[in-house]
């Protein structure tokens, strides 16, 4: 089994933190996004979408999408549970993971890609033809980050962790987004005391540096 990874990117980081929390170590292969290794035919043969992470199983099957890779490991090794244990907690984890992906990650990605000269023709990840950046998506992305941070703070005022009383993949996902937001100079405002309390706690877990 091999994990195609890129140390600086937020999506593979979600998988690395998840594996660290499970106490699992697997072979990792660095795919250098800066030099476009992910767009080369060798990598597209593993993932035609041209994005990391990808988990390649021993039978050759390639699983893309970071949360799907997490799901695979959750099924292989259920302890400690990171994706819920019953109907309610599983649904809560799924819900907050999707908030992180759609309300958080995509907002930061829009703000970042559409404002960074190196991505002027790469407005979307992994595209095999030029995708022009769209300037209007920068402000929209920043506004969405603000809404996402507000929602996290509101939720964490009523709950220790995003999906409930225990740390889960929902927290891992949101942590990766909050750190990704630093790429566009957005940090948690001082007013968001509940989000800051949670952020300090989840960032202090040894897995956060995975």
Ligand X SMILES: N[C@@H](CCC(=O)N[C@@H](CS)C(=O)NCC(=O)O)C(=O)O
SS3 27: strand
Q: Which of 4, 93, 96, 126 binds ligand X (CB under 6 A)?
A: 126
Q: How far apart are CA 110 and CA 88, in angstroms?
A: 32
Which residue is listed with tokens 């559409």? 114
Nearer to ligand X, 10 or 192 (CB): 10
Strands 54-56 and 27-30: unpaired
The interface region with ligand X, picked from 92-100, 119-127, 156-164, 187-195 by CB under 6 A, is 119-127
- 141 lies in the binding site for ligand X (CB under 6 A): no
Q: How far apart are CA 105 and CA 166, in angstroms?
A: 22
Strands 27-30 and 2-5: parallel
H/E stretch holding 63: strand 62-64
Nearer to ligand X, 109 or 153 (CB): 109
Q: Which of 77, 125, 150, 201 binds ligand X (CB under 6 A)?
A: 125
Positive or negative: CA dihedral 45, 12, 64, 113: negative
Helix, strand, coil percent values for the chain (each to nearest 5): 55, 10, 35
Ramachandran class of 45: left when φ > 0, alpha when ψ lies in -120 to 50, beta otherwise: alpha
- Taking the complex as a whole, the smallest distance from the CB of residue 53 to ligand X amounts, in Å, to 6
The interface region with ligand X, picked from 22-30, 50-58, 138-146, 147-155 by CB under 6 A, is 50-58
- 11 lies in the binding site for ligand X (CB under 6 A): yes
- 17 lies in the binding site for ligand X (CB under 6 A): no
Q: How far apart are CA 120 and CA 138, in angstroms?
A: 12
Span 144-203, contacts to ligand X by CB under 6 A: none
Nearer to ligand X, 29 or 196 (CB): 29
- Taking the complex as a whole, the smallest distance from the CB of residue 197 to ligand X amounts, in Å, to 26
Q: Which of 1, 56, 62, 65 binds ligand X (CB under 6 A)?
A: 65
Binding residues vs ligand X (CB under 6 A):
9-11, 33, 38, 51-53, 65-66, 122, 125-126
């Amino acid at each position: 089994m091999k994990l195609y990874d890129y140390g600086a990117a937020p999506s593979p980081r979600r998988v690395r933190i998840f594996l660290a929390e499970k106490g699992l170590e697997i072979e990792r292969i660095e795919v250098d996004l800066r030099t476009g290794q992910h767009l080369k035919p060798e990598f597209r043969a593993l993932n035609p979408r041209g994005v990391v992470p990808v988990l390649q199983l021993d039978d050759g099957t390639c699983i893309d999408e970071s949360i799907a890779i997490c799901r695979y490991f959750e099924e292989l090794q259920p302890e400690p549970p990171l994706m819920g244990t019953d109907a309610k907690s599983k649904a809560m984890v799924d819900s907050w993971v999707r908030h992180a992906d759609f309300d958080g990650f995509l907002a930061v990605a829009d703000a970042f890609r559409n404002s960074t000269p190196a991505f002027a023709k790469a407005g979307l990840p992994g595209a095999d033809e030029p995708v022009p950046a769209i300037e209007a998506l920068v402000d929209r992305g920043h506004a969405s980050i603000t809404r996402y941070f507000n929602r996290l703070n509101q939720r964490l005022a009523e709950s220790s962790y995003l999906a409930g009383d225990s740390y889960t993949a929902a927290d891992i996902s949101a942590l990766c987004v909050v750190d990704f937001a630093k790429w566009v100079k957005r940090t948690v405002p001082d007013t968001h005391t509940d989000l800051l309390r949670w952020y300090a706690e989840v960032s202090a877990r040894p897995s956060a540096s995975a």
